[in-house]
Structure 1
């Protein structure tokens, strides 16, 4: 029995994967998304929660945007790091490949458990989709921050544009049309509404993708390739055979 254990341990090799900046981004992103979804839910159902009044509406929006800035900064750093960072952090690692997905599924049907240093091909597809959704959420969120409460980076441009002649744009208040040129406000409303709808439905889709991602990680941990979660914490992965990637 001891001899078998020794042989097995010799077959296991430790690989370094997902550098510290990548792992840090992942967990900061998890906290930001959870916080934004929680605050967003309160904003959507504030009436049912007994929250009313303009001041409460503005405060919730400001809190949502503040956490959104952290989310956006974290995401922007990750995108830059995905270009200039280490090999394991490269955005090219998460590009989906239909041929790789087909080959992976074929091996699973054969009863094999192919090992990957990073995400398996299906996991890459999910991560790529979530990254696209997060970039969309970030962009549309910044648009709504600028048009709703006149926050940077677009808030100053928006308030100056919709302010009445002779009115200082910086004096405009959130959700208050005092000093606002109604004709110019009507011109930007369709873009504001579109950004809002894309933002909300992208969040719904992101939540769905996150649930699929979590389910996929659980299945991989239990059946195919244990160590995904621990690797995103430690940066090390133990494999008993050479990785496919």
Structure 2
């Protein structure tokens, strides 16, 4: 005879991720992959037989153009973090004063064999989101700086040309990777900042790729072991929650 005392846990669908948030996510994935691909070709262009200056500038220009799309997408997401729905806002997806205690409670519930459900990110996920957003912003800012110093592209290219040009030279006449008309001392000063920005840019990308791999692993693990439907939610916007969500 069936046990009539067994409690059924209700599964309910919640609208969580709005369209702009989902669009940012997938556009960002595609643009990051494109930037990494072109950036890798740039780093190994000699091994690939791309030795001409025109090829170098062409790759840099392509990288920068994709970077503009990446920057625009990121800026829109940063704005949406203040005006989007509850689950898109930074006040909900980033760590706050309560996150430390929430994290301790989350860990204790997992240790007790419970399965806490979240509409947004769980406390661990919030720290991952913060790290990824900081890296994306760092990559954007250093990339824009290098676009200005390498090939004199906006928003800093005009100012860099004006700074580097000799007093009797039209700044607009300066060409990428060409020292003609460039003040040697000022070029040396820019080179130091350019080198630093380049190193920060590259290592930020390496760290981002590492976090992306960890993110993919964590999402798959959570999907299989703890909260089914979180992957499909980034397509549909809806999460299926068993019982009462912790962050409703």
TM-score, with structure 2 as normaliser: 0.93
Deviation at residue 9 of structure 1 after TM alignment: 9.0
* Cα distance in 2 between the residues matched to 1:129 and 1:222: 24
Superposition CA RMSD, Å: 1.7
Aligned residue number for residue 162 of structure 1:
164
> Of residues 180, 183, 188 in structure 1, which corresponds to 2:182?
180
Deviation at residue 213 of structure 1 after TM alignment: 0.6
The aligned runs of 1:25-174 (5 Å cut-off) are 25-96=24-95, 97-174=99-176
Greater helix share, 1 or 2? 1
Runs (5+) with no aligned partner, structure 2: none
Count of residue correspondences: 241
* Cα distance in 2 between the residues matched to 1:137 and 1:82: 19
Give the SS at the match of 1:237.
Answer: strand
* Cα distance in 1 between the residues matched to 2:122 and 2:7: 24
Runs (5+) with no aligned partner, structure 1: none
Deviation at residue 99 of structure 1 after TM alignment: 2.0
Between 79-88 and 69-78, the greater mean CA deviation after superposition: 79-88
Between 94-103 and 72-81, the greater mean CA deviation after superposition: 94-103
* Cα distance in 2 between the residues matched to 1:99 and 1:67: 41
* Cα distance in 2 between the residues matched to 1:8 and 1:55: 70
Deviation at residue 10 of structure 1 after TM alignment: 8.0
| CA 11–203 in structure 1, closer or farther in 2 if over 3 Å, else same | same
Deviation at residue 33 of structure 1 after TM alignment: 0.5
* Cα distance in 1 between the residues matched to 2:115 and 2:85: 27
* Cα distance in 1 between the residues matched to 2:54 and 2:143: 20
Between 7-16 and 218-227, the greater mean CA deviation after superposition: 7-16
Aligned residue number for residue 235 of structure 2:
233
Deviation at residue 98 of structure 1 after TM alignment: 2.2
* Cα distance in 2 between the residues matched to 1:150 and 1:15: 48
TM-score, with structure 1 as normaliser: 0.94
